[in-house]
């Protein structure tokens, strides 16, 4: 059955390859490495530190500073890789400042190295006590004495407005000192938000102007990563010492080559591959052996109380073989921050091994000196108990460095977007241009809407004691199922509410052997009701707000829309927090599976035309069957299902509409549409219309024509993207070279031409140039007639009579020559099922932030 999301791993491969090529290694605009208290220089981990005595006089403003070198015996041990940084120190008996010219405004790392030693005129460990501020913000504001006998690196990320960056040392005891200083640009979006507050749960948006100090930076599952292995010269320590009960956990690692970086998620600057390619995982063996064993794996860290902290949790699913195998819970300081979390989810388009991170803010009143982070198995019955963490950063929130401007402005102007790629340039080697962007769509200011009456009715029955549950098994007895399953009388109904036990029985206890599809929403099982009716049972795998919204959307839409070319909803089950949808069973599976990537015999041209026509009818009905158009938003060959007789129906309405609750709580993770099918205009203008579905349907027509995947990364670059490749060929008049060779000989040229023309029109650059679904339907019917007409009777061919919107009925099987009528606001749906479409199905405006794949246009990143 149709997964909610296709996992187009191949696309991801292409994407990450392009990204790697386009992005290259990050080159910081500003980088200073300074060895203090000497004229000597030292090369450490790929960086050359130059002595501050050699720098221009204006850099150091220190009236009485002294250069100190370590007396023998008190120097740093050579075992420390960076020992060369700790032989010298600049010692300040009075306030002193280093000032660095800044080429590029924005975020910079400032690293201060401290190693107190004995020298000619004293002992730094005894004498030093000081504060440090940068740009007037106290980074170290309590009198600080660096720990004796070891090197300490204090790392800050600060926002520099431009011009210069001043680091001021002020002694509060006898002296201040520093051994080495690093100043380094880093990407602004490394800390841009949004972050989630831990208690109470909410959105924290002030991250981009916060000065931060790195307190812990951990690579779960080891090894230690040294500065030379990190593009921003960071150090990542293994988690051995912070892991509370190591026996409950196991280390996992894969080759970094397996990782799939995805634009918009964690860039290589967020953390190096070695962080994501290693993980600490729950020890599943312990859980398997004792079913009842439920435990958390917990890490604990010191953190000075009285400060707020940013926790960045790095995730990458390096253990699963397929998406949706496990979900787990994540806690910070005992508060649940992610429940039933799946790493490979909509953020990653279902792809595995995609590095990403999640940010959480722990308020100053909740940090108590120790910060714990735990992961534990999901409580969902149908998920494997598992969970992992790849990396963790804990950063102290030092203060706002709003740099004088309006902090809210600098916040909102920042679109958290990863981007980029080459672009398809005619005549040159063509590179498929793709990008993943987080679009921040302004939330419409609208008065809070009341739930629609249907939804209210559904809720009432859904939340009731169950007394309204209909016993299963009496439904659907005999007859044409579509007609007899009158789901709910008119607008009040929402289908049968199945008892959980009935669905358990129908699916042999949700037996893995009965799984016929897996998607973002959950697994789809084949089932048989007691009256022998075959059904498809889609079981949502989490209680997240997002899943719940898609669940509601689908029930709400499908229980109002009845059409022979839309997959019917038979009922649902919401007992025990389950989110289960029961559909009519579509015996032949997806249209996709009959086109490519399977062992199934190829469909004939006539079958393909009929399937296309069926799907077009379903979509046309969605667009025009009620007074407000419904946009499917995820039209693809995997969402077109075929019944026993190859009749096509459109499925999967989870994305068709979003409720307001979704916008409030899950804006950042909402994903709409599938890679390879997405309307470029939708991306550019962020405006959704029916024509976006038409575009996606055009891609489906090309799949039907060419029998190949929409994205095939194994092909040469200019061929990877079906829509791009095929439209180019069509423009060059090379139709014969792209048509499915297995059936090419059986297609009548006129029919083929009509079909290809139709596909091409659907793929027009601008929505206004694309035909309406009704026109598409008309053209496809015509193409079918051209195929069916016998060679010598072409002159008597009866064409569908008129242009769309004027004639015909929608409930006839396709009969050549029969006129069709496609009218808006038709009051009778197919199959004679009464379906009054006057109810307001709209609500499509309730869109908020979306992440969209599309052909890419421009990069506004200037780096
Ligand atoms: C350390 O300092 C002393 C006196 O300030 C000087 O004589 C000596 O040469 C210095 N050693 C090094 C290695 O710079
Ligand atoms: C240096 O290492 C030696 C042993 O290798 C140890 O005894 C000594 O304490 C270390 N010194 C410092 C400053 O860490
Ligand atoms: C660090 O980089 C070096 C080469 O620069 C490599 O040999 C080494 O394996 C890397 N270490 C880690 C932990 O990635
Ligand atoms: C895991 O930790 C959380 C937060 O401390 C706690 O609520 C939960 O009960 C723990 N789960 C198990 C199985 O111990």
The CATH number of the domain holding residue 528 is 3.30.200.20
The stretch 495-521 carries a mean pLDDT of 83
CA of 74 relative to ligand 1 center, distance in Å = 14
Phi-psi region of 185 (alpha: psi -120 to 50; beta: other; left: phi over 0): beta
Bigger pLDDT: 720 or 313?
313
Asked if residue 465 and residue 366 are part of one domain, the reply reads: no
Whose Cα sits closest to atom 11 in ligand 3?
229
Q: In this structure, which residue's CA is closest to atom 4 in ligand 2?
A: 77
Q: What is the CATH number of the domain that holds 125?
A: 2.60.120.430
Measured in Å, residue 388 CA sits from the centre of ligand 4 at 15
Q: Are residues 35 and 177 in the same domain?
A: yes
Based on the domain organization, do 527 and 626 belong to the same domain? Answer: no
Q: Looking at ligand 2, which atom is closest to the CA of residue 74?
A: 13
Annotated binding residue 821: no
Indicate if ligand 3 lies below 6 Å from the C-beta of 229: yes
Element (H or E) spanning 681, and its range? helix 680-685
Q: Is residue 734 pLDDT above 60, yes or no?
A: yes
* 39-67 pLDDT tens trace: 999 988 788 999 999 998 888 888 888 88
In a domain, 768, yes or no: yes
- Cβ pair 784, 606 in contact under 8 A: yes
For residue 685, what is the enclosing H or E element? helix 680-685
Which range, of 69-83, 253-267, 804-818, averages the lowest pLDDT?
Answer: 804-818
Q: Is residue 533 part of a domain?
A: yes
Residues 208 and 343 in one domain: yes
pLDDT tens digits, one per residue of 415-473: 222 222 222 222 222 222 222 222 222 223 333 333 332 222 222 222 222 322 322 22
Q: Which residue's C-alpha comes closest to atom 12 of ligand 4?
A: 295
In this prediction, residues 521-538 reach a mean pLDDT of: 86
Which of 334, 374, 375, 385 to mutate to test ligand 4, by most ligand atoms within 8 A of the CB atom? 374
**Ligand 4: centre distance to CA 296 (Å):** 6
C-alpha distances out from residue 221 to 70, 281, 287, 781, Å: 37, 8, 20, 59
Q: Nearest ligand, CA of residue 221?
A: 3
Whether residues 748 and 676 share a domain: the answer is yes
Ligand nearest to the CA of 89: 1
Six token digits for residue 784? 């079918």
Q: Do 157 and 215 belong to one domain?
A: no
Confirm whether 287 is domain-assigned. yes
**225 within ligand 3 shell (Cβ under 6 A):** yes
How far apart are the CA of 88 and the centre of ligand 1, in A? 10
- Structure confidence at residue 168 (pLDDT): 95
273 in the same domain as 140: no
Range in 180-184, 554-558, 817-821 the model is least confident about: 817-821
- 141 catalytic? Reply is no
Q: Which two tokens stand for residue 414?
A: 């920042």
Backbone angle region of 831, left / alpha / beta, with phi > 0 → left and psi within -120 to 50 → alpha: left
pLDDT over 70 at 817, yes or no: no
Alpha carbons 596 and 707: distance in angstroms, whole number: 6
Paired tokens of 186: 């880093």
pLDDT at residue 546, rounded to an integer: 58
Q: What is the pLDDT confidence band of residue 367, given thresholds at 50, 70 and 90?
A: low
246, 394: one domain = yes
Non-local (6+) Cβ contacts of 409 within 8 A are: none
Nearest Cα residue to atom 6 of ligand 4: 334
Q: Between residues 630 and 392, which one has the greater pLDDT?
A: 392
Q: Is residue 432 part of a domain?
A: no
| 3-state helix/strand/coil string of 221-244 | CCCCECHHHCCCCCCEEECCCCEC
Q: How confident is the model at residue 332 (pLDDT cuts 50, 70, 90)?
A: very high
Structural domain total, the chain? 4
d(CA 66, ligand 1 centre) in Å? 12
306 and 372 share one domain = yes
Poorest-pLDDT segment among 230-239, 306-315, 573-582: 573-582
501 CB-side CA count, 13 A = 3
- Please say if the pLDDT value at position 74 is more than 70: no
* pTM attached to this predicted model: 0.53
Residue ending a domain, choose from 796, 822, 837: 796
195/182 same-domain check: no
CA of 111 to the centre of ligand 1 (A): 26
Among 139, 171, 186, which residue terminates a domain? 186
Active site residue: 30, 366, 574, 634, which one?
Answer: 634
Domain presence at residue 832: no
Same domain? For 522 and 610 the reply is no
Is 369's C-beta closer than 6 angstroms to any atom of ligand 2? no
Is 819 among the domain residues? no
Is there a domain that residue 47 lies in? yes
Exposure b/e, 71-92, CB count within 10 A at least 16 = b: eeebbbeeeeebbbbbbbbbbb
C-alpha–C-alpha distance, residues 196 and 192, integer Å: 12
Residue located nearest, by CA, to atom 8 of ligand 1: 69
pLDDT tens digits for range 668-683: 223 356 778 888 777 6
Residue 454 lies in a domain: no
Same domain, 558 and 668: no
Give the mutation target among 292, 331, 370 for probing the ligand 4 site: most ligand atoms within 8 A of CB: 331
Q: Which ligand is nearest to the CA of 37?
A: 1
Print the domain residue range for 696. Answer: 600-796
| Domain end marker among 745, 764, 796 | 796
């Amino acid at each position: 059955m149709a997964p909610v999301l296709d996992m187009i791993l191949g696309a991801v491969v292409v994407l990450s390859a392009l990204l790697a090529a386009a992005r290259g290694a990050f080159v910081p605009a500003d980088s200073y490495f300074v060895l203090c208290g000497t004229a000597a220089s030292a090369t450490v981990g790929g960086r050359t530190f130059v002595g501050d005595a050699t720098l221009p006089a204006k850099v150091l403003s220190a009236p009485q500073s002294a250069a100190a070198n370590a007396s023998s015996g008190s120097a740093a041990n050579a075992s420390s890789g960076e020992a060369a940084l700790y032989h010298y120190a600049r010692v300040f008996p009075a306030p002193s400042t280093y000032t660095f010219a800044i080429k590029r405004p924005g975020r910079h790392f400032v690293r201060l190295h401290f190693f107190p030693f004995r020298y000619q005129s004293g002992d730094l460990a005894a004498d030093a006590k000081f504060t440090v501020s940068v740009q007037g913000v106290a980074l170290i504001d309590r009198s600080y004495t660096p720990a004796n006998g070891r090197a300490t690196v204090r790392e800050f990320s600060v926002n520099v407005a431009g011009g210069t960056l001043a680091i001021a040392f002020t002694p509060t005891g006898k002296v201040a000192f520093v051994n080495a200083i690093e100043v380094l640009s880093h990407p602004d979006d490394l800390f841009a938000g949004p972050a989630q507050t831990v208690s109470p749960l909410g959105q924290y948006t002030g991250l981009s102007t916060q000065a931060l100090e790195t307190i812990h930076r951990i690579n779960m599952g080891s090894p230690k990563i040294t500065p030379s292995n990190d593009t921003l010269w960071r150090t990542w320590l293994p988690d051995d010492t912070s892991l509370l009960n190591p026996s409950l956990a196991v280390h996992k690692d894969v080759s970094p080559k397996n990782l799939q970086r995805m634009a918009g998620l964690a860039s290589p600057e967020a953390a190096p591959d070695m962080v994501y390619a290693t993980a600490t995982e729950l020890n599943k063996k312990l859980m398997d052996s004792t079913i009842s064993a439920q435990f958390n794996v917990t890490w604990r860290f010191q953190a000075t109380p009285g400060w707020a902290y940013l926790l960045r949790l790095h995730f990458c699913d390096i253990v699963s073989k397929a998406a949706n195998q496990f979900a787990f819970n994540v806690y910070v300081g005992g508060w649940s921050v992610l429940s039933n979390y799946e790493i490979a989810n909509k953020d990653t388009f279902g792809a595995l091994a995609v590095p990403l991170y999640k940010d959480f803010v722990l308020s100053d009143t909740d940090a108590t000196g120790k910060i714990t982070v735990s992961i534990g198995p999901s409580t969902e019955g149908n998920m494997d108990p598992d969970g992992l963490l790849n990396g963790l950063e804990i950063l102290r929130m030092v203060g706002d460095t709003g740099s004088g401007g309006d902090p809210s402005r600098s916040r909102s102007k920042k679109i958290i977007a990863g981007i980029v790629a080459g672009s398809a340039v005619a005549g040159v080697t063509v590179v498929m241009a793709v990008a993943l962007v987080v679009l921040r769509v302004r939330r419409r200011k609208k008065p809070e809407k009341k739930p629609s009456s249907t939804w209210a009715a559904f809720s009432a029955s859904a939340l009731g004691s169950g007394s309204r549950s209909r016993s299963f098994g009496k439904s659907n007895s005999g007859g044409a199922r579509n007609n007899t399953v009158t789901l709910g009388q008119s607008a009040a109904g929402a289908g049968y509410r199945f008892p959980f036990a009935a669905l358990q029985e129908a699916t042999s206890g949700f037996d893995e052997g009965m799984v016929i599809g897996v998607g973002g929403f959950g697994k789809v099982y084949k089932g048989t009701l007691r009256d022998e009716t075959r059904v498809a049972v889609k079981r949502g795998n989490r209680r997240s707000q997002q899943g719940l919204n898609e669940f509601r959307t689908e029930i709400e839409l499908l229980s109002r829309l009845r059409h022979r070319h839309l997959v019917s909803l038979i009922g649902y089950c919401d007992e025990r927090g389950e989110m289960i949808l029961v559909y009519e069973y579509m015996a032949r599976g997806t249209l996709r599976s009959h086109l490519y990537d399977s062992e199934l015999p190829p469909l004939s041209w006539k079958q393909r035309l009929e399937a296309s026509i069926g799907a077009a009818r379903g979509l046309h009905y969605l667009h025009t069957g009620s007074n407000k158009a419904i946009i499917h938003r995820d039209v693809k060959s995997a969402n077109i299902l075929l019944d026993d007789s190859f009749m096509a129906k459109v499925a999967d309405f989870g994305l068709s509409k979003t409720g307001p609750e979704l916008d409030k709580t899950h804006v950042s993770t909402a994903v709409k549409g599938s890679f390879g099918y997405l309307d470029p205009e939708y991306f550019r203008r962020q405006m959704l219309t029916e024509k976006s579905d038409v575009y996606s349907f055009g891609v489906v027509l090309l799949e039907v024509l060419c029998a190949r995947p929409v994205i095939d990364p194994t092909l040469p670059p200019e061929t990877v993207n079906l829509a791009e490749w095929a439209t180019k060929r069509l423009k060059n008049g090379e139709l014969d070279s792209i048509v499915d060779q297995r059936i090419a000989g059986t297609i009548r040229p006129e029919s083929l031409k009509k079909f290809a023309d139709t596909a091409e029109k659907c793929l027009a650059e601008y929505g206004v140039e694309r035909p309406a679904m009704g026109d598409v339907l008309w053209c496809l019917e015509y193409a079918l007639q051209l195929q069916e007409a016998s060679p010598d009777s072409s002159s008597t061919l009866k064409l569908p009579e008129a242009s769309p919107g004027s004639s015909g009925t929608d409930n006839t099987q396709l009969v050549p020559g029969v006129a069709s009528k496609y009218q808006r606001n038709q009051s009778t749906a197919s199959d004679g099922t009464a379906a009054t479409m006057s109810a307001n199905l709209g609500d499509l405006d309730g869109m908020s932030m979306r992440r969209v794949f599309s052909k890419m246009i421009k990069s506004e990143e200037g780096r």
